[in-house]
Chains A and B, each alone.
Chain A
Amino acid sequence: ETGVTQTPRHLVMGMTNKKSLKCEQHLGHNAMYWYKQSAKKPLELMFVYSLEERVENNSVPSRFSPECPNSSHLFLHLHTLQPEDSALYLCASSQDEGTGAAEAFFGQGTRLTVV
């Protein structure tokens, strides 16, 4: 298995549920990211981890809680979400946190629907 893998691919959850999104990268990168992608809107950076430490939190509501247990794995824990949180959640990784020409490699995303 290569690249960046996200599970699940699709998730439907109620507003009172608790669920987690998982991301795994097999590229040996040391930075990982969570993005939110809504229709016809720019990608929104949510969280950045570099060497397993969080370095960026772009004013994301506390109902989203990231976890990075090691440099290969990243989780996004979800609880008491709102319908407007329905979107595609993308995980990405890169070698070094954004310096130089290091491009980000993306997973295929989790399509989240909050009902």
Chain B
Amino acid sequence: GQNIDQPTEMTATEGAIVQINCTYQTSGFNGLFWYQQHAGEAPTFLSYNVLDGLEEKGRFSSFLSRSKGYSYLLLKELQMKDSASYLCAVRDSNYQLIWGAGTKLIIKP
């Protein structure tokens, strides 16, 4: 079966750095997405990786290793507004998105 694993919850301190990991086992691979979802709001697109390596976008970076079935989202200079759930999703060989259950990130002052 297809599976996306990510930690259920993480806690970090304002101003610090946090890395949210995502491992996947899917039938084929056509890209990996990270989304941010604040409580009660719509998921919003953060990043897309299809080739190995690091994609940097401001305070957020996303890394992909296809051979290891592994990605991480790196958040730097954490702000209180970064408290949210972070969803990892992989597009399989049928171009269907397979979603993880999300990682709830709690930022403490």
Contact = CB atoms under 8 A, between A and B. Distances in A.
Given A4-B42, A90-B42, A106-B43, A98 B48 contact: no
Contacts of A90: 42-43
Given A4-B42, A45-B96, A108-B41, A40 B50 contact: no
Given A101-B50, A103-B33, A43 B99 contact: yes
A43 B33 contact: no
Interface residues of A, number: 20
Contacts of B12: none
B87 interface: yes
B85 to A, nearest CB: 10
Main secondary structure of the interface of A (DSSP, over half): loop
B45 A107 contact: no
Contact of B97 (A98, A105, A109): A98
Contacts of B96: 45, 56, 98
Given A40-B8, A42-B100, A45-B96, A107 B42 contact: yes
18 contacts: A4-B42, A41-B101, A42-B98, A43-B43, A45-B97, A90-B42, A90-B43, A97-B95, A98-B96, A98-B97, A99-B95, A101-B48, A103-B33, A103-B45, A103-B48, A106-B44, A107-B42, A108-B40
Interface of B: 4, 8, 31, 33, 40-45, 48, 50, 87, 89, 91, 95-102
Top-9 shortest CB links A-B: A98-B95, A106-B42, A103-B45, A42-B99, A43-B99, A108-B42, A101-B48, A106-B43, A42-B101
Interface of A: 4, 40-43, 45, 56, 90, 97-101, 103-109
